[in-house]
Structure 1
Amino acid sequence: MLRALGRASTGPVTVGDDELAALRSMLRRVHAALRDAERLSVADHSARLWLVELGDLEYRAEDVFEELEYECRRAAQLEDLKIDLLRAAGAAPTTGKRKREVAQLFAAAPAARLRRKIDDIWARYGEIASDRKRLRLRPGDGAARRPAAGALVPSSSLPRGEIHGRERDLQRVTDLVYRCKPDGGRNYTVGAIVGMAGVGKTSLAQHVCSEEAVASQFDLNLWAWVSQEFDVVGMTAKIVEAITRARPDCSELSALHGTMVEHLAGKRCLLVLDDVWDDNPIHWDTITAPLSCCAPGSTVVITTRSKMVAKMVTPNVYHLDCLSDEHSWYMCRRRASRGGATIDDELASIGQQIAKKCRALPLAAEAAGTTMNTSVTREHWNNVLESNLWADNDEAKNNVLPALKVSYDHLPAPLKRCFAFCSLFPKSFVFDKDALVQLWTAQGFIKTRGECRPEDVGAGYFYDLVARCFFQLSPSHGIGKGKYVMHDLYQELAQFVSGHECRMIHQLNLTGANKTTRHLSIVHDETNSDKELLLKSFCSHDLRTFLFLARMEQVIRGEMPCRRKIVPCGLVTDFECLRVLDLSNTDIVEVPKSIGSLIHLRYLGLDNTGIQMLPESVGALFHLQTIKLNHCSSLTQLPQGIKLLLNLRCLEIAHSNVQMPSGIRVLTSLQKLPIFKGCSVQGTILQPF
């Protein structure tokens, strides 16, 4: 069966069922290759370029399938609405121009253009596959690169730094170690120290182990570094090696357990398992099974970045937070003054500002201090202060970001995409959980199964990132408000891992965007706010996200941001692949009728704008899931065609004087719809769904 897409001057253009099946098969292979690559650390430059090109091909193929689907639905669903609108235009005292506008609504896409897109996809697929074969390195092309020397594996015997600013934490963890009671029927206690990368969990555990009040309580003081690469047998062997001070000569789990029992029986032991990632309870039970032979009062302490791991092993959890700015400056100053350098008051003033950029993370403070120590001069320190501290110096790139990236590498593939997308938001941005999940869903990052709602799955993704310390509750909002913040260094990490695909740029400074950018945000500042933005010359035609972000100071204070005078020109007509379009807090007063051409659009944000109506062409946006019209005081009605948006899940119209159109009750996918007292739909009181 042939599916006609329309007619060109040369006759009908069709796509046969066989070609559709071949396209789907190609897309599945591309998708599988990209998902496999997400589980690997790809260092080869040619391979990374190949994956970028393959990702671009995946985007194009997805767009074509949606265009094919749209053309099938357009004729079936939009023609009736068009007839109704023409009838209404004929009955009302409207102009001929209005009738012509209605007649042109929902026109079919030029078939030749869609045919050309399909042909280009096949040609590009063949080119990428062919180049990959020709350019792939062969085994004899060079010797393998030797791995760089890694960081020292932590242990209780390594030299410890000062515990400045952690005295209270030290006392509380010490109490946790030898005063907590056993739980779960065990004769030993388990305690967990949890916190983000670089916050000082290992250092704190080292100090606790060496405290006389702690060490004197135990016959054996053992330390084992777990790390990301987890293996039950290998981990058990590490514990045996810590006990016997010799590498075991067997690799069978039962024999290793026997050795542990032989050496631990009847002894009071302190075992530290540092940097635990695995959250499989069966693995945990297997490793700790021999500890039941220890004497009562034995203790296991784990350090982890994951709240899920901590919760799995014990209810005795200590959450280690960042330092104060004062203590962060102390660490910077101590490292910067190594070698006897003198720091005067003027340098100290600059240094304190640098320390604030570390956002109280000890690892960052140490790295910043090392950078400052290379030249203890006002000129150098001012350069450090004005630079991007985490992208422009080797100390940060070699020590800070790699430590954080381990957390990213351990994420499941869907969470990696969700986290990288957060690079679109500026530092100190206050994230709304529900809004972020809606954006992830619009981009297809949320994978649902069965009858699970995408809102629930997306919330699970978000709370997983919270549990892994990628987000923290916003200190400016109460618990339960759904507001979160991200540490500056994690925001830097998001920008690093997203590469060119995501770009956050400040208004009028578009040097960061390029032709490979798929997701773009503009953070508004008030400088030259009347100047028009020309995005087309900077961004790819295949842009999928455009966010216009207001300044955060007003949002944090709970105020509505001022409406900005800039609306990027040509955004609707130039970027037809958009999934997300958010022009909230701009001075836009009219949504162009051409918005109906954005057939891939899932998310439309127009909060706090001066729009008076939405065009009927919105009815053609079959994939639309979220419409936000909060604080649109001039808006009085919604288009009749909104009843065709069967995928609409969220309609927000708070503080807007909107009269609901008839037929909205057919939108059974709606999960969120504000109910206004006395608001009616054609005379019928609107009831909750």
Structure 2
Amino acid sequence: MNGTQLLAIYEDFVACSIESFFCMHMHMQLEDATALDFLLTAVSRRNMKKRIENVESTISEVKKSSILGEASKTAPEDVANKNRSKIRTASSRKVFGREALRDSVMAKLRKKPHGTGKCYSAIGIYGVAGSGKTTFARYIRDFVAEECKEEKLFDTVMCIHVSETFSVKDIFHEMLKDITKDRHSNISDREELEEKLKESLCGKRFFLILDDLWVKTKYDQQLDELISPLKVGSPGSKILVTARTKVAAGALCVNEPMEMPDLNEDQYLSMFMHYSLGGTTSVTDEDFKRVGRVIAGKLHGSPIAAVIVAGRLAANQHIRFWEHTAQLDMLNDTMDALWWSYQQLSPDIRRCFEYCNIFPRRFKMRKEDLVLLWIAQGFVKTSCAREDMEAVAEGYIQELVSCSFLQLEKTWEGKEFFRIHDLLHDLADMITGTDCFRIENESSQRGESWKGDIPRDVCHLFIQNYDAELITEKILGLRQLLTLIINVVGKDTQVEEKIIDNVCKKLPKLRVLAFAFSEHYLNTKQRTLSVLESVGQLKHIRYFGFRTTGPCNISLPSTINKLQHIQVLDFGDGDITEFTFAALVNLRHIFSCSCVKLPYLGRLISLQTFPWHFQLSNEQGCELKQLRDLNKLRGQLTISGLENVKSKAQALEANIAAKERLTELALWWYHDDDATRCSAEVEADVLEVLCPPAGLQKLTLGNLALYA
């Protein structure tokens, strides 16, 4: 886009946006800094003033328009969406040599129903860990969705990972999410969930994939509960089960389950070379072909070993490194091959991978959470003061994904998360020893408390469900604890203030403390959560989470100001009335649904992310100049109340152009018929000097009065 085109777009945008009848969103791909400079110098203040004055005569008519009612449905909340950088790696692996197995499974899926008394029939596949069962199951899911559209084999497809310690309620939630795109998290009762699932499945021909099923007999009680709602489906429905054992794979089958076949030598070599050469389709250097064949031959046909070892070779494409690797006897064993691959990672990235072992197997890890937790523990190293730790941590994730230590996956909504293969979890268990520990206490067990032993020297602890007795009897004595994450505080839980108070007082080394309050919990309580004053005793805390998954008011004590090392305050969907903690100079991120007042924001010089928008007013500490030194702000920034800026000099104090990490900027004025507003000339001045940074991708201008 050249400067003239940008100028024309910008002039037209200004002409119709300041007091337009709708909020126009301008997606400006500012690809050329020269073009931006041309734009900013070419738009004259006089022309801008004239255009603002020209639309004044239409305002009274516009405000009467019925169109406003429609526009207000999408503003101004739309501008609060944060930018998220993407991992540039395919979310699914390429499948090699499975055509025969695919055709066999598809033939069974197409087979017409016969009188068995059930609406569904099941297909089972079993094989050792790392043999490619999960990859194949997802391949079949995608094949049905993409290649068989015209056949309309099924009305709905569900793909569920079961795991060794599966919860029927969790699986019901996941099934509902695949069917309706809504997890129905507001339903916690199992019987109510089952009825909702029956309602969603009734009369539908479904295809259900149960990946990695763990049962020891066909008569497993949990399995009976899991399949109970499926009887309402339409005849011709199918279930595909993958498992490590023949018994588990055949638990729902009438016929014998199929064993996951080995790849032949050529298929295996093709897969290995694909990943070891970074996905390139041709190899010109015969030396790499020759050495690659030797290395692949040592791996005994293990798909997971091929993918992991090849990932390390792809990161070091020097023939001497490949030749040295080919001489290693340790590659003959799958776990040893994974251990060798782990050793090729840098020490900092190894520590970050090890930390992931705090989470349960197949746990959905968000990129944002991993980045902030790693930084809080001091695992992320920068080469200079100007280097951004978040960017370095995202680089760590990129490398772990590229070598398959993290598996990138996506939800139906397109959200990204990561999982770790079970064999890599086994590896991490061996490496971390007692440093990381997780307690997967099901909600049904909370009344009895968790009975296992916790290593006394554990450093990082994850607890699936809040349990006061567990914390009192087993956790408060863990003096080396650096991480305590309570993943769910549920509906039937009573969170005693005394327990949280003791956590803050008796675990002084904590760097990460996080509670997650479910919407079920909030539905049974008053919609206010109070952070206790004792949080101020956590002198080493970097990450404090009091996260809610539903609307809730969060009350903060003044002692928050004592947390001089705090980097992250995460309140999820909670609302903060006022944030008055200007002494937190190391604070990098505040997460909440909204915050009404942020006085003296400019003192938080490390701040990168803060909630919703910066509300300007005439009060001291709420002026535009508070943004002047916040040049680390990233992602999206919304400024409202710009009618309070009275001069060009005041607007210049925001120093918007220096905020190079911003990708979205929203500028809002508030005008109504009774308010005293600035002149069009002043507004033109303000708009002219709020110069967007060169990397901006989206610019929004609007009048909040139209949405009042």
Give the TM interval when normalised to the shorter protein. Answer: 0.3 to 0.5
TM-score by length of 2: 0.37
By relative contact order (CA 8 Å, sep 6+), the higher-ranking structure is 2
